Amino acid sequence: MREFYPEIEAYQTGHLQVSDLHSIYYEQVGNPDGKPVVFVHGGPGGGVDPSMRRFFDPKVWRIVLFDQRGCGKSKPFSELKDNTTWDLVSDMEKLRMELNIEKWTVFGGSWGSTLALSYAINHANRVTGLILRGIFLLRKKEIDWFYQDGASYLFPDAWAKYLEPIPEVERHDLVTAFYKRLTSPVKEIRTTAAKAWSIWEGSTSKLFFDPKFVERFGGDEFADAFARIECHYFVNKGFFPEDGWILKNVDKIRHIPAWIVQGRYDVVCPATSAYELNQAWPESKLHIIPDAGHSASEPGIKSKLIEATDFFGTL
């Protein structure tokens, strides 16, 4: 089992103005002359943290991490205006050009896999490889599984807490009901809904319940951006032109080397999506981890992702 590379500090940090409204935080870590890789975090709205730097050999990689619009250290915080999948794809290109990087490997998990794939489909000539984890294609059936009906059968206790802010009469469409509250001008309503939404994901992301992990998801500031931005994307169907858009466009990236790392018991992003992506893209390498859930910090997933970055570092 592979463990994280040692803790490391960024050698450069900054903000990039990507629109009249939004400024995104970014940092560079590792070898300034190394092979470029961009880390695409989950959520949307999850932000980056220092542990994410440690999936990569700092002698080999020039590691770029950034907070997507509205979260982490990006500004304005928790902002939904001008915050779409295509805005984020554009931001990645602006960041690549700002850093004078010709091509880079793209690493993304969960929502990060959605954005990584969307970016690659639009900018295939700028991507040297894809390292993907916990595949999320943002289709209606995936949203329904986790936020409406499906995962509740495995986690009825956590599901009951998730439902608490929503009256029975509105529970036929939970994403819309949460969106109404997450955009409320009343702070208490917004905070209660944000915590319920965020804690639901934190409670279901690991094979074994991790109270510290859940505590992070339930923090006021994290939950606010995480829940609001996720729900904003999901109520708008990811801003995709049609359901299943990624699978329908996968031929544009089949020439790009790719590893897919997927937990067998991932409840947040079930393995069926990773399997269907691999079926549509047989050149990709699918690695199903038999004793893991969703989180990148699950031991088997973490180990395979580090194995992946080591392998892609040699290409």
Q: Which of 22, 78, 294, 295 is catalytic?
A: 294
Single out the catalytic residue among 22, 74, 78, 110.
Answer: 110
- Here the tokens at position 113 are 């896999």
In this structure, the number of other CB atoms found within 10 A of the CB of residue 44 comes to 30
15 is catalytic: no
Nearest alpha-carbon partner for 209 in 279, 157, 261: 157
- Beta carbons within 10 angstroms of residue 15's beta carbon: 15
List, as own/partner pairs, every contact residues 161-169 make where C-beta atoms lie below 8 angstroms and the sequence separation is at least 24, other chains included.
Answer: 161/196, 161/199, 161/200, 161/203, 162/196, 162/197, 162/199, 162/200, 163/196, 164/196, 165/189, 165/192, 165/193, 165/196
149 in catalytic set = no
Give residue 204's Cα distance to chain centre.
15
List the one residue out of 315, 301, 311, 314 whose CA is nearest residue 4: 301
Tell me, yes or no, if 205 is annotated catalytic: no
In the set 67, 91, 224, 266, the catalytic residue is: 266
Residues annotated as catalytic are 110, 266, 294
